[in-house]
Structure 1
Amino acid sequence: MGTTDTSEWWELLPAGIRAQVDGYVLQDARMQAVRAVLEVCRARGLGLHDAELVVHRRYLHHGDRVARTPDSPLDRESLAALAAGCPGRVVAIEAVWDGDTVHGWFVDLLAITDGPAGERALATIHHGTAVRHLGDDRARVARHPSAVVAEQVGRALAADLAVPFHFASPDTPDDGAPRWRP
């Protein structure tokens, strides 16, 4: 399906559905927008990938008007404050891969606690977040930017808290990599 076809699919949507999709896009609710397009046009032969392209075009159309989900804070002070709010004692900082169809691969930075044992998400480092964090250094990064940033901020936070840092698969996205064990 080409670019002109996305416009044709958009025009085939009833006005109420177009308004709903634009509402989802403006709220940065990509998956709900894709689902709305897919549910209406699937019977006419539209597939998931094509529905994603239709919604992508709406994101381009609305540009800066989209209320983007804010990036997780990655500064040491904010991360330390989030870790301090964990129930129990923080015993490690861990970076783990995750992924979805909207963002692709990303890294979650977690505080591992005991008493009670558990984990708390401190930050989610998507590709765009990582690129913005790296700034001009992005050109010198050979690995996935999310992994590079997770290592940088995770190691610094772990050092500040005097706990171990664990990232089982920093070179390759792997959501099944071994987790930290005391």
Structure 2
Amino acid sequence: MLTPDGWWDAVEPRLLTQIDEALCTDRLIQAILLLRGEGGPQPRPGLYEAQGLLVERRAELDRQGLLPPEPPPPTTTQLIAKVDAIAAPILAVEACWDGDSRGWCVDLVAIVSRPGRDHDHVDEVRLATLREGSDIRLFNGQVPPWPEAQQAIEHGQAIARHCGVPFHFASPETPDVDLPRWWDTRPAGRTEHPAQQPGGTRRSSR
């Protein structure tokens, strides 16, 4: 049985460069495919063994200072400034899960009153995409809980209070893309601005 160092010694230098590039851009699935493909060590590592090897390899790249730093997360003040620049009436603030080749993230959006791609009467304006790492966190036990979900709650509630509108996050504990959106929770499809509803709260003045 090869040791982790033995695995990497058995990988062709060109392939190792490709794997490291994938790990430095948080493309874990791509790195797994490369490690278990042509030019990789023989016998070919199993799926879970490959995941463990790549987690260790990424940690080594981090120790060498080769991983690019994550951009700083936005502040609530910056997000409120983005909301205040939106011309359309704001109906709600929503956090929803999304995913890409790097893994799970949370999109924080403002729901506005205008026809949109997914609804006849409302649209969404993205305020921020919150991410605190890649899906490697799933394999080394860092999540759950998901720190980006907590950030989305803190930012989203503050922005919603500023605008006088509701905040919606269907599943802060568990990532899922097939969840009801804010407009799905409205009775009989009502999507009026709060100021237009009986007893509604007007949006904060600018």
TM-score normalised by L of structure 2: 0.63
Name whichever structure is richer in helix by fraction: 1
Tell me how far apart the structure 1 counterparts of residues 132 and 21 of structure 2 sit (CA, whole Å): 25
Tell me how far apart the structure 1 counterparts of residues 148 and 109 of structure 2 sit (CA, whole Å): 14
What secondary structure does 1:67 align onto?
coil
> Counterparts in 2 of 1:55-134, with a 5 A limit?
55-63=54-62, 64-73=65-74, 75-84=75-84, 88-98=88-98, 103=103, 106-117=105-116, 118-126=123-131
Structure number, greater radius of gyration: 2
Q: What's the offset of the Cα at 1:109?
A: 1.6
Q: What's the offset of the Cα at 1:29?
A: 4.0
What secondary structure does 2:92 align onto?
strand
Tell me how far apart the structure 2 counterparts of residues 169 and 91 of structure 1 sit (CA, whole Å): 20
Match of residue 177, structure 1, among 176, 179, 195: 179
Q: 1:125-179 deviations in whole A, cap 9, x for unaligned?
A: 3456xxxxxxxxxxxxxx6544333222101011112322112234554443321
Q: 1:17-60 deviations in whole A, cap 9, x for unaligned?
A: 11222233334444433332232349843233332222222221
**Does the C-alpha gap of structure 1 residues 180 and 39 become closer, same or farther in structure 2, counting only changes over 3 Å?**
same
Tell me how far apart the structure 1 counterparts of residues 25 and 179 of structure 2 sit (CA, whole Å): 33
Tell me the amino acid that sits aligned with residue 108 of structure 1. Answer: D
The gaps in structure 1 that reach 5 residues or longer are 129-142
Contact 1:87 1:113 in 2 (8 A): no
TM-score normalised by L of structure 1: 0.69
**Does the C-alpha gap of structure 1 residues 57 and 69 become closer, same or farther in structure 2, counting only changes over 3 Å?**
same
What secondary structure does 2:181 align onto?
coil
The alignment covers a number of residue pairs equal to 166
**Does the C-alpha gap of structure 1 residues 149 and 26 become closer, same or farther in structure 2, counting only changes over 3 Å?**
closer
Match of residue 6, structure 2, among 8, 32, 38: 8
Tell me the amino acid that sits aligned with residue 33 of structure 2. Answer: R
Tell me the amino acid that sits aligned with residue 113 of structure 2. Answer: D
What secondary structure does 2:94 align onto?
strand
Specify the alignment match of 2:46 in structure 1: 47
**Does the C-alpha gap of structure 1 residues 84 and 34 become closer, same or farther in structure 2, counting only changes over 3 Å?**
farther
Q: What's the offset of the Cα at 1:10?
A: 1.6
Specify the alignment match of 2:202 in structure 1: none
Tell me how far apart the structure 2 counterparts of residues 175 and 14 of structure 1 sit (CA, whole Å): 38
**Does the C-alpha gap of structure 1 residues 19 and 148 become closer, same or farther in structure 2, counting only changes over 3 Å?**
closer
